[in-house]
Amino acid sequence: MQNPPSLECWFEFGSNYSYLSVMRIEFLARDAGIPLVWKPFLLGPIFRDFGWESSPFVLQPAKGRYMWRDMEREAAKYDLPFRKPSVFPRLAVLPMRVAALGATEPWMGEFCRRVMRQNWVDDFDINAPHHVAAALEGLVADPQAILAAAQTDDNKLRLRGFTDEARDRGIFGAPTFFVGEEMFWGNDRLQDALAWAGRCAPASLL
């Protein structure tokens, strides 16, 4: 029997629209019977390829003003709490390394939601080790051991590999979703990606 197609979620903790998707995607995919594959990657190197040293929402003030109001509207639509962070974009290398380490672990979804809440609701420094450890608390037996493993050279290369793969596949922003080779960009395309995966699933699985 064929397996249903998976939904890849390419995201970054510092990405505002990734927040809206990461908070919902695990539950939506589960309800749709679509396997979810987490793909953490760093936006900074992608943006630098375009000659940008920061987010386009910073480089283009009018776009930034629009985005913050749009985030308020969209968060309200999804019944998600939201507070504009005092720092944007916020450094997220350490939690992204933990996400790279835990991408296939059962605690991944809840860890990601906790980090997103720290950034987009609590306005915490999500790159601070004590905040990352707090996001792991109760999900793993030893948060400090996970932090240590995340900082190994092998795991740093793992996150770099995710980022290189994102570049090679033509990803230019986050969140981005893939069903096979079909790409969907942006939180507003999450439902489209799920619907596409559903259409691609063998009839016997629907």
pLDDT tens track for 141-173: 999 999 999 999 999 999 999 999 999 999 999
Q: pLDDT over 90 for what percent of the chain?
A: 92
Q: How many residues does this entry show for the chain?
A: 206
**Bridge partner residues of 134 (DSSP):** none
Give pLDDT, residue 200: 82
**Confidence band for 13, pLDDT divided at 50, 70 and 90:** very high
Q: What integer best gives the mean pLDDT of the chain?
A: 95
Look at 53 and 116; give whichever has higher pLDDT.
Answer: 116
Q: Which domains does the chain have, with CATH numbers?
A: 7-205 (3.40.30.10)
Q: Which two tokens stand for residue 16?
A: 């505002």
Phi, psi dihedrals of residue 8, rounded to the nearest 5° = -90, 130
Q: Which residues contact 145 (CB under 8 A, 6 or more apart)?
A: none
Distance CA 17, CA 172 (A): 13
- Report the chain's C-alpha Rg in angstroms: 17
Give pLDDT, residue 204: 45
pLDDT at 206 > cutoff 60: no
Give pLDDT, residue 28: 98
Give pLDDT, residue 205: 47
Give pLDDT, residue 201: 63
Closest CA to 42 of 55, 31, 29: 55
Closest CA to 137 of 110, 116, 156, 117: 110
Distance CA 145, CA 125 (A): 21
**Confidence band for 4, pLDDT divided at 50, 70 and 90:** confident
